[in-house]
Amino acid sequence: MNEYAQVEGHSNLARDEESSAIVNTDIEQWKLAKQRKMRFQTQANEINNLKSEVGEIKELLHGILGKLNG
């Protein structure tokens, strides 16, 4: 079992003695961080989809211009 030592000056942080990792012991903050990460991932996916769609539109426009000029 992991042992935790309180981080001086931070009531919601502890150090894992085995790995030396700093652990946030505030469950509500952890949940909020997880929600922020999910929102960020959703936004990143939306941005990537928009980039892809813009690329497809550009290809279509180039094709149309090629036929008009060809």
**Confidence (pLDDT) at 2:** 75
DSSP 7: P
**Confidence (pLDDT) at 1:** 63
Residue 7 has pLDDT above 80, yes or no: yes
The structure tokens listed for 15 are 């150090």
- Is this prediction's pTM over 0.85? no
Range of the domain at 65: 4-69
Structural domains of the chain, count: 1
The structure tokens listed for 21 are 């990792």
Would you say 23 and 13 are in contact if contact means Cβ atoms under 8 Å apart?
A: yes
What would the pLDDT profile of 10-64 be if each residue is shown by its tens digit?
Answer: 999 999 999 999 998 999 999 999 999 999 999 999 999 999 999 999 999 999 9
The structure tokens listed for 3 are 């042992």
Q: What are the CA-CA distances from residue 18 to residues 2, 4, 10, 22, 25 (Å)?
A: 6, 9, 20, 11, 16
